């Protein structure tokens, strides 16, 4: 990792914690605000630690773009959680075969940039 990239990553990390410190939930309730602040901090720690050992410059740049996208989306919509996405359903695919592989490929392609670090849960 180049010094400039390292500085950018650490700057994003600090920016996230500054956002968490000033965060106000959409409902305005103190309890909800505290939960969301804690979520932001925990999410940042988890994802930064998960990607700590990434050495490929292109992959690092993707992670930086993902982080910036998450910050912008969170601030714009005033939600700290990843926005829900609508992926093609897997309900009609057989357990094996071409249809399943095709639907898995569609799900992987349609996953937005801001969710690349998240494991698939749906």
pLDDT 10s digits, 9-64: 999 999 999 999 999 998 889 999 999 999 999 999 999 999 999 999 999 999 99
**Mean pLDDT score, 67-78:** 92
| The most confident of 7-16, 51-60, 82-91, 92-101, by mean pLDDT | 7-16
Phi, psi of 93 (to 5 degrees): -80, 145
Cα-only R_g, the chain: 17
**Mean pLDDT score, 108-115:** 69
Average pLDDT value over all residues in the chain = 84
3-state helix, strand, coil in the chain (%, to 5): 65, 0, 35
């Amino acid at each position: 990792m180049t010094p400039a990239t390292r500085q950018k990553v650490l700057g994003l990390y600090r920016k996230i914690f500054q956002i968490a410190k000033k965060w106000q939930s959409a409902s305005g309730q103190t309890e909800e605000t505290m939960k969301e602040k804690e979520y932001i901090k925990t999410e940042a720690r988890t994802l930064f630690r998960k990607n700590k050992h990434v050495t490929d410059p292109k992959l690092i740049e993707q992670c930086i773009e993902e982080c910036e996208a998450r910050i912008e989306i969170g601030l714009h919509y005033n939600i700290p959680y990843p926005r829900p996405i609508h992926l093609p359903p897997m309900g009609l695919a057989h357990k094996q075969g071409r249809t399943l592989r095709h639907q898995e490929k569609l799900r992987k392609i349609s996953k937005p940039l801001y969710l690349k670090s998240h494991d698939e849960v749906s």
